[in-house]
Amino acid sequence: MIFQLDPHSLSFPDPTLAEPDGLLAVGGDLRPERLLAAYRQGIFPWYNDDTPIIWYSPHERFVLRPDRLKISKSMRQVMRSGRFDVTFDQAFGEVIAACATQPRREQDGTWITADMQQAYRKLHALGHAHSVEVWSAGELVGGLYGVAVGSVFCGESMFSKEANASKVALASLCQSGKYHLIDCQVYTDHLSSLGAAMISRQEYMAALSGN
């Protein structure tokens, strides 16, 4: 069953009632209070300009534990080479804008709409959304952004303009020591090769609650 959100309430239906593909509800808005309420319950928005706001809560979650990140020998050499400089929360707006324009295989257009960008910039200003930036010769060439819920980093998107730049961003996030779990949301072969794996909803919710 797909639920219609009450525009006057921040409450969400029980996430365990989501459809098999994770689809839970439609409607509502992207104000910070609603977004934070969603992430704290394992729910996130994912939609296009031509659809209403759609909320998902997958029954299994694709996650990466920082201490299980697989870094190849060649990647370690890249990180030690000094080719890239890495910063945190220094160019959030630029990162999310770059993620929105990153070409993606088998994807027409972007789900990071103008409204989504504005909403996550507000979360960033409030200290809840964060970015990792990768620079080369002073140019932003890669990065990622997401929402922090305690020690869980809910990754939203990443981009790369140079080979390995997004990998450097992810590795730097893992090595920052700030998070015990990185939520990758949906499966990709690339993230699987780096050590990400599926966990149950119960495990994911326990991580969100700090247990």
pLDDT in tens, the chain (211 residues): 799 999 899 999 999 999 999 999 999 999 999 999 999 999 999 988 788 999 999 999 999 999 999 999 999 999 999 999 999 999 999 999 999 998 765 555 467 999 999 999 999 999 999 999 999 999 999 999 999 999 999 999 999 999 999 999 999 999 999 999 999 988 889 899 999 999 999 999 999 988 6
> What is the distance between the alpha carbons of residues 117 and 123, in angstroms, rounded to a whole number?
10
pTM of the model as a whole: 0.93
In this structure, CATH architecture of domain 62-208: 3-Layer(aba) Sandwich (3.40)
Sequence-separated contacts (24+) of 125-129 with Cβ below 8 Å: 126/32, 128/32, 128/36, 129/92
Give burial (CB, 10 Å; 0-12/13-18/19+) of 207.
Answer: buried
7 is written with which tokens? 């525009």
Residues of the chain with CATH 3.30.70.3550: 3-59
Residues of the chain with CATH 3.40.630.70: 62-208
- CATH assignment of 3-59, given 3.20.20.370, 2.70.240.10, 3.30.70.3550, 3.40.50.2300? 3.30.70.3550
Using the 8-state DSSP alphabet, how is residue 67 labeled? G
